[in-house]
Structure 1
Amino acid sequence: MTRLSCFVLLVLASALYIAAASASTRSSSATDYIVASCKVTRYPALCVECLSGYASVIQRNEKHLAETALSVSLSRAQSAAAFVSKMTQVRGIKPREREAVKDCIENMGDSVDRLSQSVKELSHMGRAINGNDFMFHMSNVQTWVSAALTDQNTCLDGFASHAMDGNIKAAIRRRVVNVAQVTSNALALVNRFASRHQAAAPTEKP
């Protein structure tokens, strides 16, 4: 009985070891895939930092990679928008700063809306979609993400003057610049997904 119990424990331990090794290999493979994919972005180190924690979700899937990148961008845009909205309540804020903050609130709100639309559009695209339908939906995603990035940069433009220098400008720029960089990376990965899918798709007859 004792020998049998030892044998069973040995088998279980071996199985757990193999499973753990397999999971570790898959995780390493997914992380390597993310690192390689992020090389097409403008801010590869930030790209890897943002996405490596989602390796188990992304695996080596182009669509999951693009979806995750957009979701991270949306989350950061929402956080930045909420932060900016509180800046009008800062004690001692100057009238010119207040106007710039109000414009930024509007821009970041538009950015969040467009990123939200892009996330929904991409998530609703099933595996079976191809050809013209695929490019139609991807064009929508690319347009919305590009517009979201423009909104973020427009917010920053409102604080470009040296007359705006100060704690409010510094705090807003720090957050919005990060969002803009993450969104730029997401757009690059969306474009990569679109181009690779189009290249792999069979040519449709007219």
Structure 2
Amino acid sequence: MAKLSIYFLLLLSSHYMLVIANSDPTNFIKTSCRATLYPALCIQCLSTYASTIRQSELQLAQVALAVSLSRARSASNFISKLAKRRGRKQRGYQATKDCIEIMGDTVYQLNRSIKELGRMRRRFTGQDFAWHVSNVQTWVSAALTNENTCLDGFSGPAMNGNAKAAIRKRVLNVAQVTSNALALVNRFADRHRGEETTNLP
């Protein structure tokens, strides 16, 4: 009888621990980040917002986009200040100028994406959902393309030294978090469509 009681106690304890693990927002983030190209970076960026994200695929995608937007703005400001300090005659000025414009487009596209995703709280379904989420996917994809274009501008001998390395480091980070955000947007879209299919009569 005592052995039986211990068995049920262990079973109950295991079940309780499983429930806690599944409801832990940090675990939710870790699991979701497996769908990204840079899971460690994904977890690092989003774990801070675990209490906001909770278990929401939509919140997860929104926060990921917000992180990307914040880093894009920071990179854009950094490159702009660097360009002013170095001056027009410096090597790589045109690549720097182009990158500033490109990052400006990135900021605009990510900002639009966040606003569009915010409208998804209205629980769009069917074609309405597909249209809105397609807008987000298109804009985030364009932002990612922009960041890669900016990086390509510094791939040659246009600029050497610390300035080039600093710009590439920041833009590459923006590209990586944007890639992760896009993966989480796609994950949200797939999960939502899956729920709609499951709920069909």
Q: CA deviation at 1:196?
A: 1.0
Counterpart in the other structure of 2:128: 133
Counterpart in the other structure of 1:118: 113
Q: Which runs of 5+ in 2 are unaligned?
A: 1-19
**Do the aligned partners of 1:27 and 1:59 also contact (CA within 8 Å) in 2?**
no
Match of 1:156 among 134, 151, 155: 151
Structure 2 residue 189 is the aligned partner of structure 1 residue 194: yes
Report SS of the residue matched to 2:24.
Answer: helix
Structure 1 segments, 4+ long, off by >6 Å, are: none
Structure 2 residue 69 is the aligned partner of structure 1 residue 71: no
Taking structure 1 as the reference length, what is the TM-score of the superposition?
Answer: 0.82
Q: Which runs of 5+ in 1 are unaligned?
A: 1-24
Identity %: 60
**Do the aligned partners of 2:113 and 2:139 also contact (CA within 8 Å) in 1?**
yes
Structure 2 residue 93 is the aligned partner of structure 1 residue 83: no
Distance 2:195 2:23 in 1: 26
Change (3 A) 1:75 1:163: closer
Counterpart in the other structure of 1:104: 99
Deviation per residue, 1:64-122 (Å, 9 max, x gap): 00011001110110111111111212347754411010000000000000000000000
Taking structure 2 as the reference length, what is the TM-score of the superposition?
Answer: 0.84
Larger CA Rg, structure 1 vs 2: 1
- The one-letter code sitting in structure 1 at the alignment partner of 2:50 is A
**Do the aligned partners of 1:131 and 1:204 also contact (CA within 8 Å) in 2?**
no
